[in-house]
Amino acid sequence: MREEKSNNPSLVKIKSKKNKWLWPSIYVGFSLLFVGMIWGYNAFVGPESDVADSGLVINPNGEEAKVPVTAQKENMKFPFDEAMLDQMTILQDFYDTEASKESQENSLLVFNQTYETNSGVSISIEGQPFEVVSAMSGTVKEVNLDPFIGDEIIVEHENGYLTVYRSVTEILVKTGDVVKQGQAMATSTENEFNPTAGIHLQFEVFDDKGEVMNPRTYLAF
């Protein structure tokens, strides 16, 4: 049987148009679906992202709470106002077995005709009282009153180090106080153990293992 061909030109045109727009329509449909999915995802996670970026979280009760921020690591600073650095003098240095002979001689403390090696640095600022500040932020571990070697403040720091401030008076802090770097804690004075030094600060540093350290390792004295 012979297949009959359509003699209707309008029908041919209609079929041609349908074939022409079929695939573009499918492509547009998928594109709209994809865009809709992205928009929906952003709408869902957007508020949480904004909260995270702002440093806030939402508690289960709907209240905002601060997100803990990692504190920036501090570098040790001078235990006095750095503006007075040019007037500062190291009276006695830290005793280092590997230091020069001159440095070792300068690290000896004389008391009752005997020599003691210095476990820190003895700081003087033109022989005058000066404000003693915390070299790093931390917690006051001890406040010891001893007129012979000098009253002292011991501060424990986050890294486990201890800084000791001896030969001080007019103490402004007490055990358990949290102090910030540069916070005033006392005033330098003289003591009976090292009378030749006059008014000074005995500054010492201990690491997290309890080993005494040379303050010059951390500060450009």
Is the pLDDT reported for residue 29 higher than 90? Answer: no
User: pTM value?
Assistant: 0.67
| pLDDT confidence band for 40 (50 / 70 / 90) | low
Q: Which of 12-21, 117-126, 133-142 has the lowest mean pLDDT?
A: 12-21
Which pLDDT value is given to residue 104? Answer: 85
Q: Which of 88, 178, 89, 182 is nearest to 135 (CA)?
A: 182
Residue type, 27: Y
| pLDDT confidence band for 139 (50 / 70 / 90) | very high
Portion of the chain with pLDDT greater than 90, in percent: 54
Which pLDDT value is given to residue 91? Answer: 93
Query: Concatenated DSSP letters for 31-82?
Result: HHHHHHHHHHHHHHHHHHHHHHHTTEEE-TTS-EEEPP-PPPPPPP--SS-G
| pLDDT confidence band for 52 (50 / 70 / 90) | very low
Q: Bridge-partner residues for 133, per DSSP?
A: 184
Which pLDDT value is given to residue 101? Answer: 84
Which pLDDT value is given to residue 50? Answer: 46
| pLDDT confidence band for 197 (50 / 70 / 90) | very high
Which pLDDT value is given to residue 110? Answer: 74
Distance from chain centroid for Cα 159: 10
| pLDDT confidence band for 8 (50 / 70 / 90) | low
Which pLDDT value is given to residue 18? Answer: 52
pLDDT tens digits along 84-113: 999 999 999 999 888 888 888 888 887 776
Is the pLDDT reported for residue 171 higher than 50? Answer: yes
Which pLDDT value is given to residue 34? Answer: 63
Beta carbons within 10 angstroms of residue 117's beta carbon? 13
| pLDDT confidence band for 11 (50 / 70 / 90) | very low
| pLDDT confidence band for 48 (50 / 70 / 90) | very low
Which pLDDT value is given to residue 3? Answer: 47
Which pLDDT value is given to residue 21? Answer: 57
Exposed/middle/buried for 166, CB within 10 Å: 0-12, 13-18, 19+? buried
State the average pLDDT over residues 49-54: 44
